[in-house]
């Protein structure tokens, strides 16, 4: 492996969604990013994932619908939380919802492997965005775990949102954060 690729992976970082702005990837860059993101390990060739791209006014519409849903399921939700729902997708110019399509009782491919494949798609979006000169952040939130929110995206019962990948141009430099030391997280197995 070339030093260039290792250096790139060592420099990988997230840019907070609120610090992402225009310009967004153009249509060619976005197509390249999406096509590259789905080149992941996929036991059984199930493609246990799909992507939903939110751009333009659709981001605000989706945020408003989430806020309405939140108010309905929790009438005591503070106005600040509802406003956060409304604004959640407005900073970054592109948000990609990564959807896991899990076949729970597949005869050969455990559900966990399918979910991990979808997670690899989300990670490839982060790597791909950075390789194209953009910033990105993987976020979740309550709407990833709520069935009625899944319906807002038109998800089937076997589907769930595992990530919202926010992509745009960083508005400021992001300082490197502290990372674990290899000795803290890597160990040999001993019989």
Q: What is the pLDDT of residues 72-100, one digit of tens each?
A: 999 999 999 999 999 999 999 999 999 99
- The percent of residues above 90 in pLDDT, for the chain, comes to 95
Q: What is the CATH classification number for the domain harbouring 157?
A: 3.40.109.10
Render pLDDT for 118-133 as a digit per residue (tens, 0 to 9).
999 999 999 999 999 9
Render pLDDT for 27-60 as a digit per residue (tens, 0 to 9).
999 999 999 999 999 999 999 999 999 999 999 9
| 112 within some domain | yes
| 20 within some domain | yes
Q: Are 155 and 102 in contact (CB under 8 A)?
A: no
Residues 97, 15: Cα–Cα separation, whole Å: 17
| 155 within some domain | yes
| 26 within some domain | yes
Tell me the average pLDDT of the chain.
96
| 114 within some domain | yes
Give how many domains the chain has, as a whole number: 1
DSSP state of 15: -
Q: How many residues make up the chain in this entry?
A: 191
| 25 within some domain | yes
Does residue 67 have a cis bond before it (omega within 30 degrees)? no
Please give the pLDDT value at position 37. 98
- Domain range for 108 is 16-54+91-171
Residues 143, 137: Cα–Cα separation, whole Å: 16
| 30 within some domain | yes
| 161 within some domain | yes
């Amino acid at each position: 492996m070339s030093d260039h690729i290792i250096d790139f992976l060592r420099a990988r970082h997230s840019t907070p969604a609120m610090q992402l702005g225009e310009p967004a990837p153009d249509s060619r860059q976005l197509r390249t990013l999406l096509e590259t993101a789905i080149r992941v390990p996929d036991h059984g060739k199930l493609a246990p994932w799909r992507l939903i791209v939110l751009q333009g006014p659709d981001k605000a519409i989706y945020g408003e619908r989430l806020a309405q849903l939140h108010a309905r399921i929790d009438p005591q939700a503070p106005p600040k939380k509802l406003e956060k729902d409304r604004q959640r997708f407005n900073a970054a110019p592109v948000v990609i919802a990564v959807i896991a399509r899990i076949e729970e009782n597949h005869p050969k491919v455990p559900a966990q492997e399918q979910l991990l494949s979808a997670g690899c798609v989300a990670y490839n979006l982060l790597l791909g965005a950075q390789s194209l000169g953009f910033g990105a952040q993987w976020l979740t939130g309550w709407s990833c775990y709520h069935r009625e929110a899944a319906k807002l995206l038109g998800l089937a019962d076997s589907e769930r949102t595992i990530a919202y990948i926010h992509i745009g141009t960083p508005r400021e430099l992001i300082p490197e954060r502290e990372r674990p030391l290899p000795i803290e997280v890597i160990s040999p197995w001993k019989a």
